[in-house]
Amino acid sequence: MALQLYDTFSKSKRLFEPIDASNVKMYVCGPTVYDYPHVGNARPVIIFDILFRVLQNIYGENKVTYVRNITDVDDKIIATAKENNEEVNHLTERTINYFHNDTSYVGTLNPTVEPKATDHINEMINMIEVLIKKGFAYESEGNVLFSTSKFDNYGKLSGKNLEDLIAGARVEIESFKKDQSDFVLWKPSKEGEPQWDSPWGKGRPGWHIECSAMSNKYLGNNFDIHGGGQDLIFPHHENEVAQSECANSEIFANYWVHNGFVTVEGNKMAKSEGNFVTINQLKDRYQGEVIRLTMMLTHYRQPLNWTEENLKESKKILDKWYKFISNLKIKTTNSGSISNELLDSLHDDLNTPQAISVLHKIFKNCNDDDQNSIDLFINSAQFIGLMSSDPDDWLNWGKDSSIDEKRLGILIKKRDEARAKGNYDEADAIRSEIENMGIILEDKDGKTSWKLK
C-alpha cells in the first residue's frame, strides 16, 4: 500500500507524492526550551519519529531530510530565566539536555538536522528585509510586523477568514500595529534580554519567523511535509505560511500533518491543576518503550487521554512479549523482514493502533521452534521502536539487584535437602522465603536456577 497522509490544508487523506524521491523533506516544530518536556511534547516527538522511519523505509535511509528545530529565544524562556535568576543561555543549554535525554528515553532516532533559532538570526533578518521590500511588512516603533491584510490567502491553513481568526484568538491590543491581526517579525529587546544588531536596532526575532527562516535554509522554499501539534495550526503555522509564501513566492509545504491534543486523566494538563506530567517524572516508574507504546495505542490525529491505567496496560503487554523472548534465550537484534501488514497499517496515515494489533497477531503465531515467526515479530516491533531492549534487562528493570547470593545459596541447598527427604512443607516454606527476596526459582532437569522477579 502506498503512503497516504491526512493533510490539514485539504482536510483529506492524500497519496504522498514527494517533490524529489531522492531527497524527501520534512520539517517539524520542536521544543521551546524553558522547562522539562511534558507528555504533550512527547507525542509529536514519537509520532514524527515513526513517520521518519516509514519514509526512510520507503525511499532509503539516506534519502530523507528530517529537520526538527529548537526554539531557544522566546518570551517564556526569558521569563523563566528571570524567575530562576539565571542566564538565558544557561537555562536553554540545560533544558536542551533534558529534551535530548527524554527523546533518547522514548527511543527516537535523531533528526537529520536540529537547528537552534539563535544560530540563524541572520537568516531571519534577511527574510524580514525581503518582506519589507515586497510591501508585506512594515516598521513601527522599533518593531517589524507582517501585514496580514496584504496576504489575500491569510487563514487558508486553518480554513477560517481573517475576522473569524481574530475573534477566536487572544490578540493583544497594541498601538504600534496597523491592524491588530498583524504579527511581530522583530521586536526591540528590553534591558537584560537577549539582543542582536539589526537594521531596526538591537532586538530579537518573533517566534513565527524562526521556523520560516530555518526551514528555508535546510529545505528550500518549497518542501514536502510540515508537522507539529494541532495547537500550532493557528497562529504559528498560519503565520509561517503567510510570511514564507510572501517572501519566496512559492507554496510553502505540500502536506501539513498535525497530531491531536493530550489530556491527563480526562482533564486539560496544567500545573495549576496538579496534573502536569513530565517525561522525566515517569523515568523511575516505567521504561521508555512503555511511554512509546502508550502513545501508539491511540491514532495520532485523535485526542489522547493519558492515564495511569493505560501505562500499566502497555507495561503488561511489553512484559509478556519480553518474557517470551527471554525464555528463548535469543538476542533482540534487528535483522530480516518486516511484516507487510504492519507496513500497510502505517502507510494508511500512520495507523499505529492497527499496527499494534498486527504485532499482537504475529506474536500469537510465534512458537518456540518457529524462528521465522519470531524474527518477523521482533523485526516488526523494532521497526516502530519497540522490543529493542535486552529481554533480561527489561524483566529485571527497577528491581533490587543487591541479592545476598551466599544466603540464597544456603537456602536453595536447604530446600533441595528438604525435598530429597520428602519434607515438602519445609521446602515450600523456604521457597516462599526466597520469593520474598524478589527471586523466582526454576526447577528443571534436577537442577534449581533462579532469576529476579
CB-based contacts of 94, cutoff 8 Å, min separation 6: none
CA dist 384 and 377 (Å) reads 11
Res 334: pLDDT: 56
CA dist 178 and 73 (Å) reads 26
Res 400: pLDDT: 57
Beta-sheet pairing, 253-259 with 223-229:
parallel
Res 409: pLDDT: 82
Res 312: pLDDT: 96
Query: What number of other Cβ atoms are within 10 A of residue 143's Cβ?
Result: 20
Res 332: pLDDT: 57
Res 444: pLDDT: 66
Query: What number of other Cβ atoms are within 10 A of residue 421's Cβ?
Result: 10
Angle at 103 between CA 98 and CA 106, to 5 degrees: 125
Res 248: pLDDT: 98
Is 449:412 a contact under the CB 8 Å cutoff? no
Residue 440, strand partner residues: 451
CA dist 112 and 98 (Å) reads 19
Candidates 300, 350, 386, 311; CA nearest to 44 is 300
Q: What is the mean pLDDT of residues 382-394?
A: 95
Res 172: pLDDT: 56
pLDDT in tens, 61-117: 999 999 999 999 999 999 999 999 999 999 999 999 999 999 999 999 999 999 999
Percent of the chain clearing pLDDT 70 (strictly above): 93
CATH number for region 4-263:
3.40.50.620
State the chain's maximal CA–CA distance in angstroms.
Answer: 97
pLDDT in tens, 391-429: 999 998 877 556 677 778 888 888 888 888 878 778 778
Res 441: pLDDT: 80
Residue 116, strand partner residues: 70
pLDDT for 386 beyond 90: yes
Is 124:213 a contact under the CB 8 Å cutoff? yes
Is 228:258 a contact under the CB 8 Å cutoff? yes
**Residue 104 CB burial class (10 angstroms; 0-12, 13-18, ≥19):** exposed
Question: Of residues 331 and 5, which shows the higher confidence score?
Answer: 5
CA dist 216 and 137 (Å) reads 18
Res 250: pLDDT: 97
Question: Of residues 181 and 356, which shows the higher confidence score?
Answer: 356
Looking at the whole model, is its pTM more than 0.85? yes
Beta-sheet pairing, 12-15 with 4-7:
antiparallel
pLDDT in tens, 183-208: 999 999 999 999 999 999 999 999 99
Question: Of residues 110 and 441, which shows the higher confidence score?
Answer: 110
Q: Which helix (H) or strand (E) holds 57?
A: helix 39-59
Res 429: pLDDT: 80
pLDDT-wise least confident of 177-191, 208-222, 285-299, 361-375 = 361-375
Tell me where in the chain the CATH 3.40.50.620 domain(s) lie. Answer: 4-263
Cα dihedral 362/285/389/373 (nearest 10): -10
Q: How confident is the model at residue 230 (pLDDT cuts 50, 70, 90)?
A: very high
- Which residue carries 512479549 as its cell? 321
Mean pLDDT rounded to a whole number for the chain: 91
Q: How confident is the model at residue 216 (pLDDT cuts 50, 70, 90)?
A: very high
Res 367: pLDDT: 81
pLDDT for 58 beyond 90: yes
Res 174: pLDDT: 76
Res 452: pLDDT: 63
pLDDT in tens, 263-294: 999 998 877 777 889 999 999 899 999 999 99
Q: How confident is the model at residue 449 (pLDDT cuts 50, 70, 90)?
A: confident
**What is the C-alpha radius of gyration for the chain, rounded to an integer number of angstroms?**
27
